[in-house]
Amino acid sequence: MPNFEGQAVQTLFDQNHITEEQFEAVRAYRNLKLFSVHNELKFLLYLSMLLFTSGIGILIYQNIDTIGHTVLLGLLLLVTIGCFYFCFKNHPGFNKEEAPFPNPLYDYLVLTAVILSCTFIGYLQFQYQTFGTHYGLATLVPTVISLFCAYYFDNKSVLSIGITGMAAYLGISADPKHIFDNEMIDNTYLSYVGLAFGLTLLLWVLYASKISLKKHFNLVYLTFSLHLIGIACIVNLCADYWFPFGLILGIASYYFYNLSFQVRSISLFIFTVLYGFIGMNIFFARLLDSIHFDDFFFLFIFTTPFYFIGAIIGFIKLIKHFNKKTSDDSIR
């Protein structure tokens, strides 16, 4: 039996949560060393969905002049409608609580249908300018479809597409290329929009929790919110009016730090610490620069290696503390 699982079962037995017979049964089961291929099968399903949708895109690109736009759009629409038909037919219907498909295969069918819908609307706008010069509508319509499908079919992957679509409609590009090209840094307005959007997502989480609407979606919203707030504040810490954004980042880091323990999300915890650490360093560097710290420059250079070594040790201790805290809570 693995060390952690063995300790967890032993703790349950020591605290009289399970009987000796149950304890021996669990140990015997663990000693069989059985493993599940559930995750592997889900990965293969996800890969097949990506290959299928990518194949549709390649087919359109390579045969756009020979088959014709109308035929391609018609075939794409038929496949999309077929996917949605089976999804609506096999889903129990909307529910404020978690309402998954009886068969998880349909979750990937929903994702396929939504991606094909985005492809269809994008192709329609590119070729026939259906929405005229209102290019935002070509982004907004797939976003609305994605959010509707996410809540109706209870699909987190589709929800991520919907949130990304909202960000794109607001002018925020969420792909790695634009992040590394410093698009938000070059355009301060986008950083303000990103901060406002991140705070809006956070407020939506609080409201959805209050009315018990798909509370299991909260981690998806919180992840997007953390990244948007963190990046926007760090960008503005390098701008002229930096002080308020340091305070906002400090408050947000404290909030998300405590929240990561409540939701037991290691990814939320790590990125909170990362954004907080980067923001804190920039904040203090700007603060020292404003009070003319030039006389202590050589002392600063001398202590920098020790500072980063201490930061690494502190980060490792924080990770251990998080794992211990969440493990102890889960055992209780």
- Where along the chain do its domains lie? 1-35
> Residue written as tokens 């301060």?
188
Task: Give the model's pLDDT for residue 275.
Answer: 95
- Compute φ and ψ for 186, nearest 5 degrees: -70, -25
Task: Give the model's pLDDT for residue 208.
Answer: 94
**Cα separations (Å) of 38 from 35, 50, 132, 314?**
9, 19, 46, 36
Cα separation, 12 vs 32, in Å, equals 21
Q: Exposed (0-12), middle (13-18) or buried (19+): which is 40, by Cβ within 10 Å? A: exposed
Q: Taking Cα atoms as reference points, which of 283, 266, 274 lies closest to residue 219? A: 266
Cα separation, 321 vs 317, in Å, equals 6
DSSP tag of 55? H
Tens digit of pLDDT at every position of the chain (332 positions): 445 566 777 777 777 777 878 777 777 777 767 666 667 777 787 788 778 788 877 777 776 666 677 777 888 899 999 999 999 999 888 988 888 888 888 888 999 999 999 888 988 887 777 777 777 888 899 999 999 999 999 999 999 999 999 998 888 865 545 544 545 555 678 889 999 999 999 999 999 999 999 999 999 999 999 999 999 999 899 888 888 999 999 999 999 999 999 998 999 999 999 999 999 999 888 887 777 666 666 666 777 788 788 888 998 898 888 888 877 554 44
Greatest extent of the chain over all pairs of C-alpha atoms, in Å: 73
Is the pTM here over 0.95, yes or no?
A: no
Evaluate whether 226 touches 198 at the Cβ level (below 8 Å).
yes
Evaluate whether 111 touches 49 at the Cβ level (below 8 Å).
yes
